[in-house]
């Protein structure tokens, strides 16, 4: 071949190859430009003018949300992989709720996901950061004179007004009988809630004597009927309600002469009902404290209380006080504040609100330092919150539905198949997870759930009826949760067909009496509920005159099936307050003070309960008439309820209590009519000297050996799937 021809072919080949490369680049560029962006990034150092890519992240959640909306508008169908928003490491401080609605929804099996990027630590909070360098020693003589002598040099101050913080909230009456509201701002130091200055620093004082009991608002309500114990005739009711007056012990209040806006927290009448009231006057000579408001249930001698919101009582590390007039916050830090994280919670609304959303997931995010809820879902479907941490919140962690409706309100706006899974919830002010869902009219299940969550220390501000999990409506579930260390009940349910299973619950009801680890009450229509395969242990409460219980079915609440539960070192395993149609079987009760109390209050009609059984105005009858219990759906599902009025509905009849193991505890305490009207059979009380066959009671291993005594002596006892109880490895 001639050299010239070779050169020509070589150059021709190069031109062809260059054209091919150019064409490929053009096509790749066109394809890349047409491919929709499905991943968006945000960062505390981002900018909302950026593209939202990993290298050019947005700054705000709202911008990422809007970018997905824009992408959806350009593409009629969501991509197969779904949209994802990755939050890069850092703090995201928000001044208003992050709002999501139907426009932000994903599709079935293709959710829209908001999550922390990889294993990075991401915090969404509703607080103001208080720089440590802005705290200064107290120098004002008028303030120093009010501070305890020995602690003055430890107390620092910061001027919030100088930082542009001017909204401090107002302390209002809350607690039993009063509307739930967001608390006033709280101070968090290194992630921990600090204590508003109080006396005593820990525990409680006790009322010495009652000078004037004031009003008794609970007994003015329409369900307290004439002839019952607590009835107050209209002409004797106070309008407006009057506060109360009591004597205190000691002379500590003498130091508070210059204080104002001073409040009391207490269990004023019952040890299961707390509340706060404001002090109107302190008479040091008479040792009297007068309150501005009445307590819901009144007040009585020897009940517990403490005083809070006092500059004069900053005498312990971690205490603080906010002067709402000057805007100056005083703080006794636990240790040197240099390089520490100090925040003041400000946002009253939920950090995230999802309204009519579907198929949205929130993953691996910390929600903290806010006065309201963490996340609220209203009328949603198939939304999931997983792997998140909720802490340092003023109210609840997650609310599915409207938590301000009464428990028996038929409106179910929690939606369907929404869930909270694998989350860590602690240090919340007024509860953990609230779930409402399903339709009681049609008995359509909600399918909402709380699953595999670790929940503890969840009622810092309101100690009673601020449960770890609340279930309302129809067909919702609480399963495999670990719940512990709380002053009052961990689970409360109202409605129908709920399932409470595989939970481990311990060291709850620590500050109360007359309370249960699982509680429901005063409604014949709450049917179809199942409580199974739960481990209750170390639940002893105050050891008051009534006690605390594992499962508490109060005031004629009826038709629960409870089986496969294990009770160990619980003051009383079951407390059944006169209900009917329960099925209690295949449970293990070990080292409990009492095994079961089942009374006949709805039949006996003691004066305190007779009003609830009034056929015209009684609570039980009113709630019965509020549901369509004679409809075909209800009659088919609950045939015994359909005929409840054909006989005396107060009879504790129709229950079955069988195949239960009792070991080192007392026999059942059953009212005579319970024994007559219900079926009690085949329950085994094992001799304390015998071993029922547990692997290791001391290690809380209640698995049974194959040759266990219980299998020999209790025919029909079924093995409990002990290995499935509690948190899973997820």
- pLDDT-based confidence at residue 26 (cuts at 50, 70, 90): very low
Q: Which residues pair with 517 in a beta bridge?
A: none
What is the residue extent of each domain of the chain? 1-35, 89-126+347-498, 128-197+315-342, 199-308, 509-730
pLDDT at 315 exceeding the cut of 60: yes
The CA-CA-CA angle for residues 636, 639, 642, to 5°, reads 105
pLDDT for res 79: 63
| Tokens of residue 218, six digits | 């609970």
Q: Per residue in 385-443, pLDDT tens?
A: 999 999 999 999 999 999 887 655 555 589 999 999 999 999 999 999 999 999 999 99
- Mean pLDDT for the chain overall: 93
Check if the beta carbon of residue 427 is closer than 8 Å to that of residue 389: no
> What are the strands, taking DSSP E only, across 371-441?
375-378, 380-381, 384-386, 389-393, 398-400, 415-416, 419-421, 424-428, 433-437
Dist CA 287 CA 249 (whole Å): 7
Looking at residue 412, what is its pLDDT?
Answer: 52
Residue 14: pLDDT band with limits 50, 70, 90: very low
SS3 category, 22: helix
**DSSP H helical ranges for 88-162:** 141-144
SS3 content of the chain, % helix, strand, coil (to 5): 15, 30, 50
Segment 170-191 mean pLDDT? 96
Q: What is the pLDDT of residue 545?
A: 85
Q: Do domains 89-126+347-498 and 199-308 have the same CATH topology?
A: no
Q: Residue 516: is its pLDDT beyond 50? A: yes
Strand order in the sheet with 342-345: 127-129, 342-345, 187-189, 192-193
User: Has residue 6 got a pLDDT over 60?
Assistant: no
Of the listed ranges 160-174, 403-417, 498-512, the one predicted with least confidence: 403-417
417: left (phi over 0), alpha (psi -120 to 50) or beta: left
pLDDT computed for residue 80 by the predictor: 74
Task: State in words which class domain 89-126+347-498 has.
Answer: mainly beta
| Dihedral sign, Cα of residue 456, residue 459, residue 464, residue 470 | negative
State the Cα–Cα distance between residues 476 and 496, nearest whole angstrom. 9
Could you identify the residue written with the tokens 């291993």?
Answer: 701
Q: Which of 183-192, 363-372, 703-712 has the lowest mean pLDDT?
A: 703-712
Instruction: Return the closest-CA partner of residue 492 out of 455, 462, 521.
Output: 521
Residue 320 has what pLDDT? 98
| Matching residue, tokens 């009609």 | 605
Q: Is the pLDDT reported for residue 222 higher than 70?
A: yes
Predicted confidence (pLDDT) per residue in 28-52, tens digit: 444 444 567 899 999 999 999 999 9
| Residue 272 CB partners (closer than 8 Å, separation 6+) | 464, 488, 512, 513, 514, 515
φ, ψ of residue 277 to 5 degrees: the values are: -135, 155
Mean pLDDT of 559-565: 98
Q: Is the pLDDT of residue 579 over 60?
A: yes
Q: How far is the C-alpha of 624 from the C-alpha of 230, rounded, in Å?
A: 23
- What is the value of pTM for the model shown? 0.94
% of the chain exceeding 70 in pLDDT = 94
Sign, Cα dihedral of 301, 305, 308, 313: positive
Copy the structure tokens of residue 152.
């003055």
Average pLDDT on 161-186 reads 96
Give per-residue pLDDT as tens, 82-96.
899 999 999 999 999
Q: Alpha-carbon distance 575 to 598, whole Å?
A: 6
**Per-residue confidence at 347, pLDDT binned at 50, 70, 90?**
very high
Mean pLDDT value across residues 552-558:
97
SS (H, E, C) 449-491: EEECCEEECCCCCCCCCCCCEEEEEECCEEECCEEECCCCCCE
Q: Given 1.10.3470, 2.30.30, 2.40.30, 3.90.550, which CATH number is that of 199-308? A: 2.40.30
């Amino acid at each position: 071949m001639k050299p010239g021809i070779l050169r020509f072919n070589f150059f021709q080949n190069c031109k062809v190859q260059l054209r091919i490369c150019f064409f490929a680049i053009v096509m790749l560029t066109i394809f890349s430009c047409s491919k929709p962006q499905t991943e968006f990034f945000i960062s505390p150092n981002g900018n909302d003018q950026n593209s939202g890519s990993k290298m050019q992240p947005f700054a705000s959640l709202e911008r990422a949300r809007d970018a997905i909306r824009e992408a959806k508008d350009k593409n009629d169908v969501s991509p197969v992989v779904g949209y994802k928003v990755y939050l890069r490491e850092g703090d995201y401080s928000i001044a208003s709720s992050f709002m999501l609605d139907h426009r932000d929804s994903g599709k079935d099996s293709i959710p829209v996901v908001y999550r922390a990027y990889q294993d990075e630590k991401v915090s969404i909070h509703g607080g103001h950061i208080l720089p440590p360098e802005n705290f200064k020693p107290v120098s004002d003589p008028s303030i120093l004179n009010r501070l305890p002598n020995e602690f003055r040099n430890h107390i620092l101050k910061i001027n919030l007004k100088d930082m542009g913080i001017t909204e401090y909230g107002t302390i209002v009456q809350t607690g039993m009988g009063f509307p739930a509201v967001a608390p006033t701002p709280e101070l968090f130091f290194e992630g921990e809630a600090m204590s508003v200055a109080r006396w005593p620093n820990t525990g409680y004082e006790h009322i010495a004597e009652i000078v004037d009991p004031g009003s008794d608002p609970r007994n003015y309500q329409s369900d307290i009927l004439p002839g019952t114990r607590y009835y107050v005739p209209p002409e004797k009711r106070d309008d407006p309600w009057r506060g109360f007056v009591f004597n205190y012990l000691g002379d500590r209040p003498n130091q508070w002469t210059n204080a104002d806006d001073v409040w009391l927290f207490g269990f004023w009448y019952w040890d299961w009902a707390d509340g706060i009231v404001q002090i109107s006057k302190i008479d040091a000579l008479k040792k009297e404290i007068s309150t501005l408001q009445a307590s819901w249930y009144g007040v009585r001698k020897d009940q517990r209380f403490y005083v809070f919101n006092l500059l004069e009582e900053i005498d312990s590390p971690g205490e603080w006080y906010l002067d709402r007039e000057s805007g100056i916050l005083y703080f006794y830090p636990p240790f040197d504040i240099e390089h520490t994280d100090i925040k003041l919670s400000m946002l009253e609304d939920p950090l995230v609100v999802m309204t009519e959303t579907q198929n949205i997931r929130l993953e691996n995010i910390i929600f903290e330092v806010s006065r309201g809820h963490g996340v609220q879902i209203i009328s949603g479907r198939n939304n999931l919150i997983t792997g998140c941490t909720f802490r340092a919140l003023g109210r609840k962690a997650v609310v599915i539905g409207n938590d301000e409706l009464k428990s028996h309100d038929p409106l179910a706006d929690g939606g369907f198949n929404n869930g909270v899974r694998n989350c860590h919830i602690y240090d919340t002010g007024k509860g953990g997870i609230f779930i409402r869902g399903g339709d009681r009219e049609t008995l359509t299940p909600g399918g909402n759930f709380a699953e595999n969550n670790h929940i503890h220390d969840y009622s810092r501000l309101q100690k009673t009826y601020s449960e770890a999990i609340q279930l309302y409506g129809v067909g919702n579930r609480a399963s495999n949760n670990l719940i512990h260390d709380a002053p009052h009940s961990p689970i409360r349910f109202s409605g129908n067909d709920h399932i409470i299973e595989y939970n481990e619950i311990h060291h709850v009801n620590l500050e109360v009496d007359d309370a249960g680890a699982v509680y429901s009450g005063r409604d014949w229509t709450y049917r179809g509920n199942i409580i199974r395969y739960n481990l209750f242990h170390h639940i002893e409460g105050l050891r008051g005159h009534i006690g605390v219980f594992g499962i508490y079915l109060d005031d004629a609440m009826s038709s629960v099936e409870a089986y496969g539960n294990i009770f160990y070192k619980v003051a009383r395993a079951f407390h059944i307050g006169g209900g009917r149609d329960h099925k209690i079987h295949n449970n293990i009760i070990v080292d409990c003070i009492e095994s079961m109390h089942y009374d006949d209050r709805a039949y006996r009609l003691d004066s305190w309960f007779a009003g609830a059984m009034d056929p015209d105005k009684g609570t039980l009858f009113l709630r019965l008439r509020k549901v369509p219990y004679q409809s075909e759906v209800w009659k088919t599902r609950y045939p015994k309820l359909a005929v409840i009025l054909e006989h005396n509905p107060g009879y504790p009849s129709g229950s079955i209590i069988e195949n239960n193991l009792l070991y080192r505890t007392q026999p059942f305490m059953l009212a005579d009519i319970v024994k007559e009207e219900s079926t009690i059979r085949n329950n085994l009380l094992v001799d304390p000297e015998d071993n029922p066959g547990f692997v290791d009671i001391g290690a809380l291993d209640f698995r049974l050996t194959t040759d266990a005594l219980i299998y020999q002596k209790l025919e029909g006892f079924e093995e409990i799937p002990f290995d499935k109880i509690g948190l899973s490895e997820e």
